[in-house]
A and B are shown apart, each in its own frame.
Chain A
Amino acid sequence: MIRARQFILSFILLLGMTSLAAANSGRLVADLSKSNIAITSGFHGTDLLLFGAVDGAVGDDILVVISGPPTDIAQRRKANRAGIWINVETNIWQKAPSLYTILATSPINKIASPETLASLAIGTNNIGLEIAAKTPVAGQSKPTAIEFIAALQANMASIDLWPDQNGNVTLTENALFRAEVKLPPNILSGTYNVRVLQFRNGVAISEDITNLYIKKGGLSAGIYNFAHNYSALYGIFAILFAVAAGWLAAVAFRRK
Chain B
Amino acid sequence: MYIYLPIAEISMHIGIIIGLGGGVGFLSGLFGVGGGFLMTPLLIFFGIPPAVAVATEANQIVASSVSGVLAHMRRDNVDFKMGGILLLGGVIGSSLGVVLFTTLREMGQIDLVIKLSYVVFLGIIGFLMLLESVRTILHTRRPGGRKTKLHQHNWLHGLPLKMRFRRSKLYISALLPLAIGAFVGVLAAIMGVGGGFIMVPAMIYLLGMPTSVVVGTSLFQIIFVTANVTFLQSVQTQTVDFMLAGLLLFGAVIGAQFGTRASALLRGEQLRGLLALMVLAVCIKLGFDLALRPDDLFSVELLK
Does A pair with B? yes
Minimum distance in angstroms from A70 CB to a CB of chain B: 11
Whether a CB of chain A sits under 8 angstroms from the CB of B147 is: no
Whether a CB of chain B sits under 8 angstroms from the CB of A87 is: yes
Minimum distance in angstroms from A148 CB to a CB of chain B: 8
Contacts of A156 in B (CB 8 A): 300
Query: Residue on A with the closest CB to B303?
Result: A72
Contacts of B71 in A (CB 8 A): 250, 254
Whether a CB of chain B sits under 8 angstroms from the CB of A138 is: no
| Count class of interface residues, chain B | 35 or more
Whether a CB of chain A sits under 8 angstroms from the CB of B235 is: yes
Whether a CB of chain B sits under 8 angstroms from the CB of A121 is: no
A-B pair count, CB < 8 Å, reads: 188
Pair B299/A236 contact, Cβ less than 8 Å: no
Contacts of B303 in A (CB 8 A): 71-74, 92
Pair A247/B70 contact, Cβ less than 8 Å: yes
Query: Residue on A with the closest CB to B119?
Result: A84
Pair B227/A239 contact, Cβ less than 8 Å: yes
Minimum distance in angstroms from B289 CB to a CB of chain A: 8
Whether a CB of chain B sits under 8 angstroms from the CB of A77 is: yes
Pair B300/A75 contact, Cβ less than 8 Å: yes
A253 vs B234: C-alpha distance when bound (angstroms): 30
A231 vs B234: C-alpha distance when bound (angstroms): 6
Given A85-B290, A242-B249, check contact A232 B231 (CB 8 Å).
yes
Pair A235/B10 contact, Cβ less than 8 Å: no
B91-111, CB under 8 A of A: which get 1 and which 0? 000000000000000001101
Contacts of B11 in A (CB 8 A): 43-45, 185-186
Contacts of A243 in B (CB 8 A): 62-63, 66, 223, 227
Chain A positions near chain B (C-beta within 8 angstroms): 39-45, 71-80, 83-87, 90, 92, 98, 151-152, 154-156, 158-159, 161, 185-186, 188, 216, 219-221, 223-224, 227-228, 231-232, 234-239, 241-243, 245-247, 249-251, 253-254
Q: List 11 A-B contacts (CB under 8 A).
A: A72-B303, A156-B300, A161-B302, A216-B6, A227-B242, A235-B232, A235-B240, A239-B231, A242-B227, A247-B67, A253-B257
